[in-house]
Amino acid sequence: MRSRRPIFKSLALLILVILLLAGWTHARAIQDWWKLRDYTAPANVVSVASEDTLTPEATHIFYVNHPQLIANVATFRQGCSESEQTIVLGCYHPDQNGIDIYDVQDSRLHGVQEVTAAHEMLHAAYDRLSSGERSRVDGLLQDYYNNNLHDQRIISTINAYKKTEPNDVVNEMHSVFGTEVADLPAALESYYSQYFSDRATVVDYAQSYEGEFTSRLAQIDADDVQLADLKTQIDSEEQSLNNQLNQINSDRSRLDQLRSSGQAEQYNAQVPAFNAEVDGYNRGVTALQSDIANYNSLVSARNSIATELRGLDQSLDTRLTPQTAQ
């Protein structure tokens, strides 16, 4: 009678191979299950995912990374030692090892957490792309960057990444374009639709809170130009008034000489012109005082905006610190 042991061994080996192949094929799903087995997303994380209009697939990727909103600056900086070059405040830890988001409390910057969350989620999504899909998406991103990108701020952002993270530029394009560019080619829009049911919502958040900075910076720049023009005008008025005053003093001296020498007729003939000269000088002084008041008022308004900008800066813990006008 033949032994059945070799048959059993072969069967066991076959089952083991099948299990190993199944484990390898579904390794990502198994890893995700393990990470999510005891995870319940905090309410603020659920809210961010909802406001970002994340699809179920994107929400899954987001939650696998156990995202957390961190309000303490020191704690946030410990976990995110390298700042993004774009208008987000967060970081993704590679290999699906976490997403940290700075919890900005300033109501004027509503949307920063949402944009940051979407940006970092897209980093995690990019990590999960197959080599073939990544190659296809990279081509779409590069083509858009080379031929259709005209937003100077986005261009500057990508250029900054080229210097700081030259090996991850396309990865950064993947996150930046998906969250900050309103109009993308149809192929990219189709690609991003697997992650957002309404991508425009995220872009609106980005444009809204980025505008809180750019509008103030633009106003400061405009005020600085106006202040420079006013300063030139004031300097010119002061020089003109000094010249007028010198002439008035000279004319007064001549009139005093005429009067002291008894030349009454000549004195009386020149007094009206002298009085008009003095009146013109006084009007010039009044105009100068008005211009100085306008200058000081504009300096105050300009510095108030700069103070607001510093407040926004502190809310984001960045390095944007406009100088106070003198």
pTM strictly above 0.85 = no
pLDDT given for residue 72 in this prediction:
81
What are the residues whose beta carbons fall under 8 Å from the beta carbon of 165, sequence distance 6 or more?
85, 172
Query: Of 135 and 85, which is predicted with more confidence?
Result: 135
Is residue 176 within 8 A of residue 158, CB to CB? The reply is: yes
Cα 213 to Cα 265: distance, rounded to the nearest angstrom: 69
pLDDT given for residue 216 in this prediction:
79
Q: Hey, which of 16-25, 30-39, 60-69, 160-169 has the most confident mean pLDDT? A: 60-69
Is residue 148 within 8 A of residue 243, CB to CB? The reply is: no
User: pLDDT band at 249, cuts 50/70/90?
Assistant: very high
User: pLDDT band at 317, cuts 50/70/90?
Assistant: low
pLDDT given for residue 43 in this prediction:
96
Residue with tokens 């990544």: 134
pLDDT given for residue 84 in this prediction:
61
* Segment 106-123 mean pLDDT: 90
Cα 278 to Cα 276: distance, rounded to the nearest angstrom: 5
Is residue 92 within 8 A of residue 123, CB to CB? The reply is: yes
Is residue 248 within 8 A of residue 284, CB to CB? The reply is: no
pLDDT given for residue 180 in this prediction:
95
Q: Is 250 exposed, middle or buried (0-12, 13-18, 19+ CB in 10 A)?
A: exposed
User: pLDDT band at 305, cuts 50/70/90?
Assistant: confident
Query: Of 311 and 102, which is predicted with more confidence?
Result: 102
pLDDT given for residue 112 in this prediction:
87
Residue 232 in this model has a pLDDT that exceeds 50: yes
Least trusted range by pLDDT, from 19-28, 173-182, 231-240, 263-272: 19-28
CA 212 to each of CA 11, 202, 261: distance values in angstroms, whole numbers, following the listed order: 68, 16, 72
Compute the C-alpha angle 135/140/84, nearest 5°: 85
pLDDT given for residue 12 in this prediction:
54
* Segment 2-16 mean pLDDT: 54
Domain range annotation of the chain: 26-197, 212-316
